[in-house]
Amino acid sequence: MNIAIASGKGGTGKTTVATNLAFYLQHHAKEDVALLDCDVEEPNCHLFLKSVCLETKKVILPVPSLDPDKCTGCGKCSEICQFAAIACIKGKVLTFPELCHGCGGCILACPAGALSEQEREIGTVETGTSGKIKTVYGQLRVGEAMSPPLIRAVKSHAQNGQINIIDSPPGTSCPVIQAVKGCDFVLLVTEPTPFGLNDLSLAVEMVRVLGLPFAVGINRSTIGDEKVREYCRNEKIPIILEIPEDREIASMYSRGRLVLESLPHYMEKFEKLYLQLKEVIPC
């Protein structure tokens, strides 16, 4: 069972919900629990779960490498490339590995066999544990633009028969889509403010385009206004979690502590969340 925690906007509390849900489930679910942090640009879950890293694996993207002796300068490689990652100027071939999507087209198109594949590291995937939780997170190399292949590498650790919680990056474009695609359920975390509502409505459009079942969780539910609740009512979207604004949570969060570790009275909220998730997700 794959549950994605997503939100159009950053900073709404995705990581708080994902880490505390995993913490709750490790003691209360029958299945094994894995937390896959797909916010590879800024992974944070491991900071809260204090995961012990057991293995670090490089994630590589195949990019073309040129053998100048074989190159005839015909330009077929740059003709096929849709990403401007390879150029042929006056018979000389230049490659721009940062722009390469690794489709392999240039290599197939080269009639002289002058191109082969070389590996380019885009980041790492760290696997480890935190209590009974299996933790996986990706870390994109700083300065690196291509996050979706790294997100795919993190998601490849999702196993059948266990509960995989997927912490998604913010936004509604390629990285988030890569993270939520194929999940059984998406929990959209938002705040009851105009920013929260604007970005929630974009995220709702996204999960609808992808055809995924979803519900909303409202964080800092006692600030702002009623418009998010009104919106959910009108759109018939269930709200399955509300966490009030609480300076104690903010203070625990600032120190990198889990809510449930330090404020056990919130356990009930996560129990309720789990029961609701069990109801809506086909096992």
Distance CA 72, CA 75 (A): 8
Considering the complex, what minimum distance in angstroms separates the CB of residue 260 from other proteins? 17
Least distance to other proteins, CB of residue 226, Å: 10
Q: Are strands 214-219 and 185-190 parallel, antiparallel or unpaired?
A: parallel
Please compute Rg for the chain using Cα positions.
22
Q: How far is the CB of 214 from other proteins (least distance, A)?
A: 14
> Whole-angstrom Cα distance, residue 148 to residue 112?
32
- Decide: is 116 part of the binding site for other proteins (CB under 8 A): no
Name the nearest CA neighbour of 206 among 179, 224, 230: 179
User: Among residue numbers 69 through 88, which ones bind other proteins (CB under 8 A)?
Assistant: 80, 82-83
Tell me if 96 contacts other proteins by CB under 8 A. no
What dihedral do alpha carbons 164, 283, 208, 234 form, nearest 10°?
-110
Binding mask 20-59 for other proteins (x = CB under 8 A): -------------------xxxx-x--xx-----------
Cβ proximity of 192 and 226 under 8 Å: yes
d(CA 134, CA 35): 6
Binding mask 185-214 for other proteins (x = CB under 8 A): --------xxx--xx--x--xx--xx----
Q: Which helix (H) or strand (E) holds 278?
A: helix 267-280
Among 128, 138, 175, 217, binds other proteins (CB under 8 A): 175
3-state SS assignment for residue 97: helix
Residue whose CB is less far from other proteins, 170 or 217: 170
Residues interacting with other proteins, by CB under 8 A? Answer: 8-12, 15, 39-42, 44, 47-48, 80, 82-83, 101-105, 108-109, 140, 142-147, 169-177, 181, 193-195, 198-199, 202, 205-206, 209-210, 223-225, 250-251, 253-256
